[in-house]
Structure 1
Amino acid sequence: MIWFLCTFLSACSNSSQPILIDGSSTVYPVSEAVAEEFLKHYPDVSIAIGESGTGGGFDKFCRGETTINDASRPITSTERKQCQQNGVEFIELPVALDGIVIVVHPSNHWVNHLTVSELKKIWEPKAQGKILRWNQIRPQFPNQEIHLYGAGISSGTYDYFTEAIVGRKQASRGDYTASEDDNVLVEGISTDPMALGYFGLAYYTENKDKLKAIAIDDEKPENGTQPVVPSYQNIASGYYQPLTRPEFIYVRNDRTQQPTIANFVRFYLQHASQLVREVGYVPLPDQVYTLALKRFEQRQTGSVFTRNHRKDVPLEKLLTTPTIHEAHTKDN
């Protein structure tokens, strides 16, 4: 956890409560960069940022323990229900685009691309204890153990990856090195020649010299026949599929009555485009930031994402749709 200026227990120079942020390790670098810039303008503010994973962060957020939750996926109906039961109204704001990057050790010379079917074969639940060697993915790969690294079960990256690759959220083999801290995954893969893993673009960008990114073939003819690398341009254009996704912050509505909180959220949306680039992610279109700021200023609470929302619906359209305030059915 990063602490700016003061801790929960120390005395702060201003009378307002600290801005407490937790949640996704993927969104963490963005919130950290925004906080650092914000404090240059408002040096007396206290900001604390943790990274419990999207799900772990929502547990705290919906109990009213934090001000903002960083999230690498939309809030679920179960989490909406938890927030509603605890009287926590929230404002949902997109802040960036990310690509989940498949990475191996740089000494890996045998794999340059994988198909979605091959990734599913590696990661689906029935692969546990069975798909253990590289040549089980393709016969021409070496007869060597494959060592897997990936997001922990409290991570929004875990939810998104399993749904996009396996076809069902949280459907994954369990015999792999898991962590909600992407730096742990970077360290593991960068020191293991037999490794394969996944995490957000910023962590790959920051560690390009000790990782190798793998191109992905989504096997959909309408998207072309060539595997696509997780580049800035391919993520911005939506060409890197199915592993391009939006990133969010969720803000407690009752805390926005405090000028410091409101100013921080405005600052976040007004400067996200530049700061997102600096930490290695892809900014959203300007219109999306404009709509998100309007949504915040009008204090539009709830989520624009349904249980079965289509991922190809543009954020510009979603941000003008009615919100959902509670869950009527439990998520899978």
Structure 2
Amino acid sequence: MNFRPGYYLIAIGMSLLLTACGSKNSSESETEKLQGEIKIDGSSTVYPITEAVAEEFRAEQPEVKVTVGVSGTGGGFKKFGRGEIDINDASRPIKEQEATTCNENNIKYVDLKVAYDGLVIVLNKENTWVDHFTVAELKKIWEPEAQEKITKWNQIRASWPAEDFHLYGPGVASGTYDYFTEAIVGKSGSSRGDYTASEDDNVLVQGVSGDKNGIAFFGLAYYEENKERLKLVPVDNGKGAVTPSVETVKDGTYAPLARPVFVYVADAAAKRAEVSAFVNFYLNNAATLVTDVGYIPLTAEEYQRESAKFKGFSTAQ
């Protein structure tokens, strides 16, 4: 066989050209531009995560309009159950009545865990007497009957001042409120009513930072954003006082105020290319973006399981 260098070089060149063309087509396919609108609402706790994901997604898919509202987990589920939104941010699992509404309106859904969060107890920086709360003391403060009986610091612990304390917390439509009352009071949605309530955690931060006798609870991420203005309180669940942090939330030692947070995706929405792309983008990038906004990411294996769960749901629709 005669070796002909000229033909050999031409063949290599043609091969490289075809490979390059194939790569270009593959790249174009991977970055296919989508259009449409994605409507999201729900939890103020999950909002910073979803908004961070939406911002990055908009950069890749500028023709897709992604709107993220904040009406609380319960408010979001009301819209979700009526088919008004595609995705609901939720800081707790869906309730039985909410699931029934979805079923009555023929809305199937998948719940996807996206991060972990801890609920923190915070005080005014000028509070010098509280070094920690026990879970029993928190229940004593927040249970419904406390409204008539427990209003002063020294009624919580005798060595504390005989001054009125003032409570701040999320509104009753908030998943954070549901989770806190279940974990501390023992019944979801059950608490005293004489507290300053807001779905906007920034309002709660403002309230306590300006009130020497204030006590508030909300998500760890909001404390991290405002730590210069607030005093963080360790919680003792019977095994010693534990300060909330990324580490203690992740390893489970900060109990009972650590929890997962979710997004719920409707079946009709999952069929649309832009929503499917957004959810996949969310799960593929959450580990980095969750950390950026102060939450605790799942493990790589957990994100893989959530991705497989969504794939199974979306392809079954």
Instruction: Give the TM-score of the pair, scaled to structure 1.
Output: 0.83
Q: CA deviation at 1:198?
A: 0.1
- State whether residues 129 and 175 of structure 1, in contact with CA within 8 Å, keep that contact through their aligned partners in structure 2: no
List gaps (5 residues or longer) in structure 1. Answer: 1-13, 220-224, 302-332
Is residue 299 from structure 1 mapped to residue 275 from structure 2 by the alignment? no
The correspondence for 1:284, drawn from 288, 293, 298, is: 298
The correspondence for 2:257, drawn from 243, 248, 256, is: 243
Could you list the per-position Cα deviations for residues 149-187 of structure 1 after superposition, in whole angstroms to 9, with x for gaps in the alignment?
A: 011100001111001001111110000001111111111
Say how many residue pairs are matched. 283
Could you list the per-position Cα deviations for residues 46-98 of structure 1 after superposition, in whole angstroms to 9, with x for gaps in the alignment?
A: 01111100001000001000010000000011111000001111111000000
Q: CA deviation at 1:253?
A: 1.3
Alignment of 1:1-332 (within 5 A): 16-219=35-238, 225-299=239-313
- Rg larger in structure: 2
Q: Give 3-state SS (helix, strand or coil) of 2:44's partner.
A: coil
- Whole-angstrom CA distance in 2 between matches of 1:15 and 1:94: 25
Residue 29 (structure 2) aligns with? none
- Rate the CA distance shift 1:34–1:84 in 2: closer, same or farther, 3 A: same
Residue 319 (structure 1) aligns with? none
- Whole-angstrom CA distance in 2 between matches of 1:15 and 1:268: 16
- Whole-angstrom CA distance in 2 between matches of 1:206 and 1:71: 21
- Whole-angstrom CA distance in 2 between matches of 1:16 and 1:172: 45
What is the alpha-carbon root mean square deviation over aligned residues? 1.3
Q: CA deviation at 1:16?
A: 4.3
Give the share of equivalent positions with the same residue, in percent. Answer: 53
- Whole-angstrom CA distance in 1 between matches of 2:295 and 2:40: 19
- Whole-angstrom CA distance in 2 between matches of 1:133 and 1:243: 24
Could you list the per-position Cα deviations for residues 266-308 of structure 1 after superposition, in whole angstroms to 9, with x for gaps in the alignment?
A: 000011111111101111121111110000001179xxxxxxx
Residue 309 (structure 1) aligns with? none
Residue 4 (structure 1) aligns with? none
Q: Give 3-state SS (helix, strand or coil) of 1:239's partner.
A: coil
Q: CA deviation at 1:37?
A: 0.9
Could you list the per-position Cα deviations for residues 214-245 of structure 1 after superposition, in whole angstroms to 9, with x for gaps in the alignment?
A: 000011xxxxx320001110001111000000
- State whether residues 271 and 314 of structure 2, in contact with CA within 8 Å, keep that contact through their aligned partners in structure 1: no
Q: Give 3-state SS (helix, strand or coil) of 2:242's partner.
A: coil
| Structure 2 residue identity aligned to 1:21 | I
Q: CA deviation at 1:129?
A: 2.7
Q: Give 3-state SS (helix, strand or coil) of 1:104's partner.
A: strand
Q: Give 3-state SS (helix, strand or coil) of 1:197's partner.
A: strand
- Whole-angstrom CA distance in 1 between matches of 2:64 and 2:314: 25
- State whether residues 16 and 258 of structure 1, in contact with CA within 8 Å, keep that contact through their aligned partners in structure 2: no
Q: Which runs of 4+ in 1 moved over 2 A?
A: 14-17
- State whether residues 21 and 48 of structure 1, in contact with CA within 8 Å, keep that contact through their aligned partners in structure 2: yes
Instruction: Name whichever structure is richer in helix by fraction.
Output: 2
- Whole-angstrom CA distance in 2 between matches of 1:102 and 1:120: 13
| Structure 1 residue identity aligned to 2:310 | F
